[in-house]
Chains A and B, each alone.
Chain A
Amino acid sequence: MAGVWVLAENHRQTLELLNIGRVLASKLGTRLAAFLLHDREMAQEYIEYGADDILLLPSLPEDQSLDAYIPVIAEEAQKQEPDIFLVAATLRGKEIAARIASRLNTGLCSECISLTLDESGKNLEMERLMFGGAAAQKVTCRTRPQMATVPPRTFEPAVKQSGREGQIKELPVPPASALRVLEKKARAHEASDIREARVVVCAGRGIEKQEDMALVRELAEAVGGEIACTRPISEELHWLPENLCIGLSGINVKPDLYIGVGVSGQIQHVTGIRDAKVICAINNDENAPIFEAADYGIVGDLYEVVPKLIKELKGEK
Chain B
Amino acid sequence: MPRIVVCFKWVIDEAYIRTGASQELDLENVDYKLSDYDRNAIEEAVRLKEEYGGSLVGITVGVPEATKGIKDALSRGPEKAYFINDASFDNLEPSQTATILADVVSSQIEYDLIICGEGSSDLYAQQVGPRLAEKLGIPCISYVQKLGIENGEIIAERKMEEGVEVVAAPMPALVTVVPDINSPRVPGLKDTLMASKKPVISITKDQLSQTYEPCLQTAGILAASMERNCVKFGGELEGIAGFVESLLKEGVIS
Instruction: Tell me the A residues contacting B by CB distance below 8 Å.
Output: 65, 67, 70, 90-92, 94-96, 98-99, 101-103, 105-111, 125, 128-143, 177-187, 199, 223-224, 231, 235-236, 238, 242-243, 248-249, 256-257, 266-267, 270-271, 274, 277-280, 284, 286, 289, 291-301, 304-305, 308-309, 312-313
Contact = CB atoms under 8 A, between A and B. Distances in A.
Interface of B: 12, 14-15, 17, 25, 93-95, 98, 119, 121-127, 129-131, 133-135, 139-143, 155, 158-170, 173, 178-180, 183, 213-224, 226, 228-237, 239-241, 243-244, 246-247, 250, 252-253
Chain B residues touching A, majority SS:
mixed
A270 B223 CA distance: 14
Contact of B180 (A99, A182, A236): A236
A131 B170 CA distance: 35
Contacts of A180: 167-169
- Sorted nearest first, the 6 A-B pairs with minimum C-beta distance are A300-B235, A107-B215, A102-B134, A107-B216, A98-B130, A102-B131
Given A184-B164, A235-B180, A248-B124, 6 more contacts: A91-B159, A138-B221, A142-B217, A177-B139, A179-B139, A181-B166
B95 A101 contact: yes
Nearest to A147: B215
Contacts of B224: 129, 133-136, 271, 274
- Give the dominant DSSP class at A's interface: mixed
A130 B124 contact: yes
B180 to A, nearest CB: 4
B136 to A, nearest CB: 10
Given A132-B124, A236-B183, A295 B231 contact: yes
A139 B180 contact: no
Residue of A95, A125, A141 contacting most chain B CB atoms (<10 Å): A95
Given A107-B215, A139-B219, A256 B252 contact: yes
A181 B167 contact: yes
Given A142-B215, A291-B230, A296 B180 contact: no
A309 B240 contact: yes
Contacts of A308: 235, 237, 240
B170 to A, nearest CB: 6
A293 B235 contact: no
Contact of A298 (B17, B164, B223, B235): B235
B80 to A, nearest CB: 27
Nearest to A304: B235
A183 B160 CA distance: 12
A297 B233 contact: yes
